[in-house]
Every structure is written in structure tokens, then in C-alpha cells.
Amino acid sequence: MRATLVPVLTFLLYGCAANPDKIDAAPVAIDAYLRDSCGQLTYNKAKDEDALASEEQEQRSVRRSDAWGIALIGLPVGRMAGGNREDEIAQLKGELVAIDKARILCGCT
């Protein structure tokens, strides 16, 4: 009994996947972006925004799965299945911050 209780309690304490709006940007250095042209920065920003929207949509789906899993069986099934996208979202948010800083420093409009 005790052997199964510990993993279950661990998952319950770990909880649902994070809301994508609550995930902070990871620190990303702007050095590499300072070598890009304004056109490249604009392209990279659009690409990362699209990727971020996709990752956030996936994270919301994982969050819903976790909520249902915890309600029905007491386990965050989305996270357990490896669906959490928190690291990817943080990285993309950090890249977007770095791109925006580079655009300002490079005088892009």
C-alpha cells in the first residue's frame, strides 16, 4: 500500500501543467540576434510567435487532460504522458524578448 501511495501523492503535489500565460521567459542572450538584419529579425519573430502559439495551444490541452485526470483518477495524465511544453514555451518567450531587444538596438521598426 505504501509503495503505491508515495508516487500517487507525488503526482498530486506536482499538479496540473502550468498555464502558458504564467510561464516566464527563459533568459536568452541577444548577441546572436544582433548580427541579423531587420528582415531576418522580423522573420524570426514571426516564426517564433507561430511556434509559441502552437506550443501554448498544446500546453492548454495538456492542462485540460491533467485536470480531468486528477478529477477522475487522481493523476495528472497529461504530464505523465510527457505532454508538458513548459520548457519550450519559456525558451520561445525568451527568444522573442531577445529578438525585440535586438530590433530596438538595431533600429528596426
pLDDT at 64: 84
At residue 8, does pLDDT exceed 80? no
Neighbours of 78 (CB within 10 A): 24
Average pLDDT over residues 87-100: 97
CA dihedral 14, 18, 24, 25 (to 10 degrees): 110
- pTM higher than 0.75, yes or no? yes
- Residue 74: which residues within 8 A CB-CB, separation 6 or more? 8, 11, 12
Dump pLDDT digits (tens) for 17-71. Answer: 788 999 999 999 999 899 999 999 999 999 999 999 999 999 998 888 888 887 8
pLDDT of residue 25: 97
**Residue 91: pLDDT band with limits 50, 70, 90:** very high
What does each C-alpha distance from 56 to 49, 61, 67, 77, 96 come to in angstroms?
A: 10, 9, 16, 18, 14
